[in-house]
Every structure is written in C-alpha cells, then in structure tokens.
Chain A
Amino acid sequence: GENVEQHPSTLSVQEGDSAVIKCTYSDSASNYFPWYKQELGKRPQLIIDIRSNVGEKKDQRIAVTLNKTAKHFSLHITETQPEDSAVYFCAASPTSYGKLTFGQGTILTVHP
C-alpha cells in the first residue's frame, strides 16, 4: 500500500519568512495530493491540492510543487503570518478512488 513520509516534524519561523514542508510517497498510482491545515481542536481543512498532470499550483501565499519522477511534493508558504501556525498534513490518493494516506504532520509555529 501507499506510504507517505513528511518532513520536518516541527518547523519554527519568524513572521514574514517562508516555510517549506516536504513529502515523499511510494505508490506510483497516486495522482492526487492534497494538503490539510489543522488548528488545535479543529477539523482538518483543505488548503491546496495538486493533481499529477501539473507540476506546480499557487494560491496567493501558498504553493505546491510535485515531482512525479522522484515521487515527492512540497508545500511552500511565503510571507508567513502568526495565523499560519497549525499542524499541516500532506496526503496522497490513488487514481481509482479517494482513499487518502496521510503523512505524519508538521507543526508550524510562526513567531511574531
């Protein structure tokens, strides 16, 4: 089955800096890669996703890149703000249906 590895487990940055979180996956059949943000005590919320037919996708301060050959994808947050502080999860899903396999999560702390 699919295995998703996520690094780093914790990330601390100053407000205004950039943050990068990386994930690798094992199953070449995976073609959908969402990123979820989970604040303390809240449900996971989708922030951005990418499909295997594109290499990069941007949404304001957030971008995701995908390298299918190397089987890794990354989340980039620019101009970080304290409200970006949360746990971020990457996930991968196969072509056939939507079962998500999640990474272990990254605790992002943005210091004012």
Chain B
Amino acid sequence: GAGVSQSPRYKVTKRGQDVALRCDPISGHVSLYWYRQALGQGPEFLTYFNYEAQQDKSGLPNDRFSAERPEGSISTLTIQRTEQRDSAMYRCASSLTASGGLGKTQYFGPGTRLLVL
C-alpha cells in the first residue's frame, strides 16, 4: 500500500512568511509524529497526535510552530513568521498504534525541505 506522503517536497520562502506543511499518513494509522531533521543529524521530535488529539507538543521550538490533525488523518504543521533558523527537513511519521506491540513501528515520510531566505 501507499506509504507516508508529504507535500510540498521543497519549499522556499522569504523570512517572515507563513508556511504550511502537509502529512498524509498510512491509511488506518492512529498515531502521527512530526520531526525536524538537520543535515547530518537524527530526527528531533516536535509533536505527536493520537487520532485527532495532540498528545504531546513539547518539542515545538516556540509558539510560531503549531500543528493540527482535525479528522485524525492528514496533519498540517504550520510555521508562522518564518526565520532563517527554521530551515531544515521536516518529516512526519505514522504508526498503527502508539503504546506497544508490533504496531508501534514508525514509518517515515520523504520529508519537506524548507529553506527560509
């Protein structure tokens, strides 16, 4: 079946603009995660959803970052008033469940490469 998809794949924006990044998880996956990955580094947790509920947003860097998953499927990560330091690869991942067993495996999307000029 189809894997996790993200759009756009590349986004170039000017400092101060708002951007919205979309994640389409694997169908039926309950849990959805957003990570940020700097070049040469491991993914860094941003936020997590269980169905439509945002369970943990402790990794969001500041209040310019927000995320939603209104119907428990597609999620949007929004960055307001972008700054150059926001430039990174933004990845989402989904898993069948969150709490245990084989369903905990996270499958990553291809990412959105964000460049803020």
Identify the A interface with B (CB < 8 A): 6, 32, 34, 36, 42-46, 49, 89, 91, 93, 95-105
What are some 19 contacts across the A-B interface (CB < 8 A)?
A: A43-B108, A43-B110, A45-B108, A46-B105, A93-B104, A95-B100, A97-B56, A97-B98, A98-B33, A98-B48, A98-B98, A98-B104, A98-B106, A99-B56, A100-B33, A100-B45, A100-B106, A101-B45, A102-B44
Rounded to whole Å, the gap between the CB of B73 and the closest CB of chain A is: 17
Q: Interface residues, chain B, CB within 8 Å of chain A?
A: 31, 33, 35, 40-45, 48, 50, 55-56, 91, 95, 98-100, 104-111
Identify B91's interface contact among A43, A89, A104, A105, CB under 8 A.
A43
Nearest-CB residue, chain A, relative to B45: A99
Could you tell me if A97 and B99 are in contact, using CB atoms closer than 8 angstroms? yes
Contact partner, B104, options A32, A36, A89, A102, Cβ 8 Å: A32
A105 touches B110 (CB 8 A): no
Q: Which residues of A contact B104 (CB under 8 A)?
A: 32, 93, 98
- A103 and B42 contact, CB distance less than 8 A: yes
**Complex Cα gap A32–B55 (Å):** 19
Chain B contacts of A42 at CB under 8 A?
110
Q: Chain B's nearest CB lies how many Å from the CB of A96? A: 7
B104 to chain A minimum Cβ distance, whole angstroms, is: 5
Shortest Cβ distance from A19 into chain B, in angstroms? Answer: 18
Name the residue on A nearest B107 (C-beta): A46
Task: Tell whether, in the assembled complex, residue A43 and residue B109 are in contact, meaning their CB atoms are under 8 Å apart.
Answer: yes
